[in-house]
Structure formats: C-alpha cells, structure tokens
Amino acid sequence: MSLLGKLETDVDIEAPASKFHEIFHQRPHHISNVSSDKIQGCEIHEGEWGQVGSIVYWNYVHDGKPCVAKEIIEAVDEENNMISFKVIEGDLLEEYKSFKLTIHCLPRDKGSVIHWTLEYEKLHDEVPDSHSLLQFCVDVSKDIEAHLMEDDKEPLLFPNPAIMSLCGKLEADVKIKVPASKFHEMFHRKPHQISKACGDKIQGCQLKEGEWGKVGSIIYWNYVHCGKASVAKEVIEAIDEENNKICFKVIEGDLLKDYKSFRIILQCIPKDKGSVVHWIFEYEKRHEKIPDSHSLLHLCVAISKDIEAHLLGNEKPCGA
C-alpha cells in the first residue's frame, strides 16, 4: 500500500477569487475572526506576510482537538491566485512524513471556485487519508465566503503599517448583537465584571486609584496572553460617553517589557440591531525585533465575543 497520498476538492463560493486568495496570501491572521471555532490564530514567525519563504504558525481545532502547525510559504502565484504551504512542524507530522497544502482560487461567473489540494506522505500504512482535514478546509472556506459577502466587505482586522519603524497602530472591528451602550458600560463602569464573562482570559480587574469610569482613575488587570499570566496597570485617559468611547494608557505591566508606550482605544458604534466594537492599539516598540501586537488584538476580539455572549445570555448582565 502506497504511503503517498493526494486529495483534492472544489468549493464554489460567491466571492471574487482575488478576495479569497488575499485572505490566505496577505491576511491569514484575520481568519480566526471569521472562523474562530476552527482557527484560533495565525502568527508570523519569520519573514513577512505573503512572502515566499516566510514561516507562519497556526492554532486550530481538528476533530475536536487543539492543534498547531508551523508552515513555510513554499510558492505564491499572484496572477493565478495560488498559494502553497508546506508543514514543517506540528501535529500533522505525528502521522505524516510530509504534508503540503495548495489553494488555487479560480474565477467563475459571478464568483469563484476554491481548489484545495493536499499532498502528503504517511509515516506508516495505518495512517488514514486526511479526508477530515479536507472537510475542515471546505468549512473554513465557507466561513471566509460568508465574511467576504457581508455588505460592508471590510476585513475584521486591518493592520495599519507603521510609518515610523518602532511606532505601530492596529485596528479591529467586531460585530456584536448587543447595544453599543451596553458593551461600552462593561469597560467604562464595570470592567471588574468582565472576568465573569471570560474567566479564561481575564482573571480580574481592580480599582487602584479614583473611581470606576472616571478619567484619571487607575485600574489593574490580571489576564492571560499567549498562555502566560500577565498584568497591566492602566490609567483611564479619556472617556466620550455620548459616542461610547474610552481610552486606556498602560503605565505598568508586562506589555511595557516590549513596548515603550501602549494605548488602547475602544469605541462601540451602533449598527442595525447591534453594534460594531472598534479596537485601536497605538504603541511604540522598544526595538525593531518586537512583533506587532496581533496576538493581543486577537485576544481583545475573543473577549468582545465572550462579553457579547454574556450580555445576550443575561437579562441583567451588568449587575453589580
């Protein structure tokens, strides 16, 4: 029995081929925001997004199990909307000697066809062909299609390249089904309630100086970032109650080991029957080897969804 395998499938979508290709080519770190039950994160470990030879690191769930994969971008064909990843570390290599994924986005009528190809060599003949992973790729494709077909057609995350080498700015939009004022209230007056909504991410928030929700007050967060227990002391720098906006400036804690300054701005904007939570990070790195804070932005997106679920699941979610 041959240990070499190849699986292929086509996924018809209504979004343009170039748009879908762009997600995997330039913005794979956005996928966790449109398919969070399947993809928890994607980080750049070496190189630059979308460049051949760059190395990306995925956190994902396959067959109900949390998994990781370190992949090298092996080939990119922008003209034909094709990209190829080769797995170099991670769970897949426990069963496969080699594993390669190729994604080819083909224009068709008003939409496109996403052609997935998985090529692999098993470690032994008892390893099954990777049909379940192929179905996983199909499901992720449909999640991305749903996002691309939204009316505003804007990505949930849109990094803003730093004009200065050490200065950075990242932004994220999170659509939620609760009123803007309710979400804003959680960070404005009741941040000490957030740990009830996402205890795996936020362990606590204490008032150190001043009053809850007052400019100049100082609060202290205990949280988990990238699996590590962390702390942050922040001053409430500005509040705009009319526009559901609040700004925190980090003055002590783990973030300042890597960043000279770090500011978090949070605005809740009413939209349709819910709202859009707009996150902004503004920071200055201590040196050029410090990565942009994509992982922290993903954490904030995940916290936003936890708070949304909390507010939707309780008639009085903000009770003291």
Helix, coil or strand: residue 233: strand
Tens of pLDDT, residue by residue over 158-206, are 444 443 458 888 888 899 999 999 999 999 999 999 999 999 999 999 9
User: What are the strands of the beta sheet with 259-271, ordered from one edge?
Assistant: 167-176, 274-285, 259-271, 245-253, 228-240, 218-225, 202-209
- Which one has a higher pLDDT value, 79 or 109? 79
For the cut 60, the answer to whether the pLDDT of residue 154 exceeds it is: no
Asked if domains 4-148 and 167-313 share a fold, the reply is yes
Q: Which of 131, 132, 120, 128 is nearest to 85 (CA)?
A: 120
In this structure, whether the domain defined by 4-148 belongs to CATH 3.20.20.140 is answered with: no
Residue 161 confidence (pLDDT):
45
Q: Which of 85, 92, 144, 83 is nearest to 115 (CA)?
A: 83
For the cut 70, the answer to whether the pLDDT of residue 25 exceeds it is: yes
User: What are the strands of the beta sheet with 39-46, ordered from one edge?
Assistant: 4-13, 111-122, 96-108, 82-90, 65-77, 55-62, 39-46
Q: Which of 180, 182, 194, 235 is nearest to 213 (CA)?
A: 235
Residue 163 confidence (pLDDT):
39
Tens of pLDDT, residue by residue over 114-148, are 999 999 999 999 998 889 999 999 999 999 998 88
Every domain of the chain and the residues it spans = 4-148, 167-313
CA-based end-to-end distance of the chain: 65
Residue 165 confidence (pLDDT):
58
Report helix, strand and coil shares of the chain as percent, to nearest 5: 25, 45, 30
Tens of pLDDT, residue by residue over 267-309, are 999 988 899 999 999 999 998 888 888 889 999 999 999 999 9
Task: Mean pLDDT check: name the lowest of 20-24, 213-217, 250-254, 311-315.
Answer: 311-315
From residue 47, give the alpha-carbon distance in Å to each of 52, 171, 176, 220: 9, 22, 34, 35
Six-digit token pair at 142? Answer: 């449909």
Amino acid at 234: E
pTM across the whole model: 0.51
Q: What is the mean pLDDT of the chain?
A: 89
Whole-number percent of the chain with pLDDT over 90? 72
167-313: CATH topology is Alpha-D-Glucose-1,6-Bisphosphate; Chain A, domain 4 (3.30.530)
Q: Which of 88, 169, 170, 101 is nearest to 133 (CA)?
A: 101
Sign of CA dihedral 193, 239, 249, 33: positive
